[in-house]
Amino acid sequence: MNLKRRATDILMIALGAAMIAALVHIVAILIIPLYASRDAFARLSQLGPVNATILLAQPGPQARLLPYGDPAVASAFCRFDLGAGPLRVKAPADPSGFASLSFHTRRGSIFYAITDKAATHGVLEALVLTEDQLRAVAAKDDEDVPVQELRIVSPTNAGFVAMRSFSEQPSLYPRAESTVRALNCATEASPE
Amino acid sequence: MLIKALIACVVGLALGLWATALSLRSGRGFDATTIGAWTVSEKAGAPDADPYTRAGLERSGEIPLAAGEGLQFIARADDTGAALNSRCTYLVGRVTPPARYWTLSLVDRQGFPVENPAARYGFRSSEIVRDADGGFVIAVAASAHSGNWLPIGSEGRFALALRLYDSPVSATAGAIEKTAMPRISRESCR
């Protein structure tokens, strides 16, 4: 009888523990992205101020800030905050190789990306704005003139733009670096 | 009764956190697609990525490729399913899915290149030595090999990363045939 009671006790504890474990696991997985203390944005924030273009070190055994970087690809980024106004992004696309711009929210999801194939006259250009800013800008558009610029709505005020440039040979890596270093991010006056 | 509830809570908490750490280390969410030895998460970085993929990205801190930029495939095992071992020699190759450029590199468990005397961390499609038919073979080995040698560098687990840039398969990674991916065959072990 005593043995049977102990077995039931252990079974109940095990069942309870399993249920709590499942709950803890699900909550942890859902909370981690919101906590965001170690994500790419948090790591990039250590490197410099908003709007500044910052070149990332070539991925290698010593560059341990961001994992899964490609040693053949040079990258630079700028963080943005649309609270002060829309962001004008300009970057030269080296016609000889692959280059791309990707737009990331504070929470790490990508809301837009373009490659060098979208470049006009060798330049990739975009205006990043909030929903409200887009409405204000669109209200000022001349109805007879088609809009030429690429306007990208960001779901969050804060985020970052990453530029990548592929080097076809190891000796061409410095050129890829100078391509991404030319990324330019500037806050424009808020539309009234 | 209280003691029992407390034990259940403590054990449950520990188990739950352990399971979380384990699932994040494996680095694959529900979105992941497996093609032979390779795993790809098409939705990495997408707003509708699953919670595991998102939590994994937050912890690792990597900047994922957007679908329009390219795709990253990771292999932690060879074609037979055995974990990649630094004491073995592997031949990787012949073909990749179509892409403007691709690179194949070696990373440690955290996703960083591994120090080696040759300072060779990967190969680009534009620099690799090819056979007459356009195919390629990369020897992944600790000791020097002729041709395309990708050094393993140090003891321990490692993974191979294949990145396709500007690839038409970006939107349909799940539909890639196994034969279109590089094979990873184990040759010999020390």
CATH number of the domain where residue B180 is located = 2.60.120.600
Please report whether residue B5 resides in a domain: no
Tell which of B58, B73, B154 to mutate to test the A interface (max A CBs under 10 Å). Answer: B58
The whole-number pLDDT of residue B27 equals 62
Please report whether residue B148 resides in a domain: yes
Q: Which residues of A touch B165 (CB under 8 A)?
A: 73, 98, 100, 166
* A100 inside 8 A of chain B by CB: yes
User: How far apart (Å, rounded) are the C-alpha atoms in residues A73 and B100?
Assistant: 14
So what's the ipTM on this one? Answer: 0.88
Q: What's the structural domain count of chain A?
A: 2
Q: Do A20 and B163 touch (CB under 8 A)?
A: no
Residue pair B148/B154 in contact by the 8 Å Cβ criterion: no
Residue pair A157/A58 in contact by the 8 Å Cβ criterion: no
Residues A110 and A156 grouped into a single domain: yes
Residues A19 and A106 grouped into a single domain: no
Please report whether residue A178 resides in a domain: yes
Smallest Cα–Cα separation from A156: which of A132, A130, A136? Answer: A130
Q: How far is A140 from chain B (nearest CA, A)?
A: 30
* B45 inside 8 A of chain A by CB: yes
**A27-41, B58-72, B173-187: range with lowest mean pLDDT:** A27-41
CA dihedral A42, A182, A165, A187 (to 10 degrees): 40
Residues A88 and A7 grouped into a single domain: no
The whole-number pLDDT of residue B87 equals 92
- Where in the sequence is the domain holding A11, given as residue range(s)? 1-35
- When comparing pLDDT for B29 and A47, which is higher? A47
Please report whether residue B65 resides in a domain: yes
Pick B165's closest partner by Cβ from A40, A67, A98.
A98
Smallest Cα–Cα separation from A111: which of A139, A82, A137, A135? Answer: A82
Q: How far is A61 from chain B (nearest CA, A)?
A: 5
pLDDT at A43 over 80: yes
- Where in the sequence is the domain holding B117, given as residue range(s)? 29-189
Residues A11 and A56 grouped into a single domain: no
Q: How far is A10 from chain B (nearest CA, A)?
A: 9
Please report whether residue A86 resides in a domain: yes
Would you say the pTM of this structure is higher than 0.95? no
Please report whether residue B39 resides in a domain: yes
Q: What's the structural domain count of chain B?
A: 1
pLDDT tens profile A87-98: 999 998 876 789
Q: How far is A18 from chain B (nearest CA, A)?
A: 6
* B167 inside 8 A of chain A by CB: no
Please, which residues 109-168 of chain A have a Cβ atom closer than 8 Å to chain B? 109-115, 117, 155, 162, 164, 166-168
Structure tokens at A99: 């280059």
Residue pair A86/A151 in contact by the 8 Å Cβ criterion: no
* A7 inside 8 A of chain B by CB: no
Please report whether residue B166 resides in a domain: yes
pLDDT tens profile A97-133: 899 999 999 888 899 999 988 887 788 999 999 999 9
pLDDT tens profile B56-82: 888 888 999 998 899 999 999 999 999
Residues A83 and A161 grouped into a single domain: yes
Residues A47 and A101 grouped into a single domain: yes
Residues A129 and A102 grouped into a single domain: yes
Please report whether residue B4 resides in a domain: no
The whole-number pLDDT of residue B149 equals 94
Please report whether residue B158 resides in a domain: yes
Residues A84 and A162 grouped into a single domain: yes
Residues A138 and A46 grouped into a single domain: yes
Residues A177 and A137 grouped into a single domain: yes
Please report whether residue A182 resides in a domain: yes
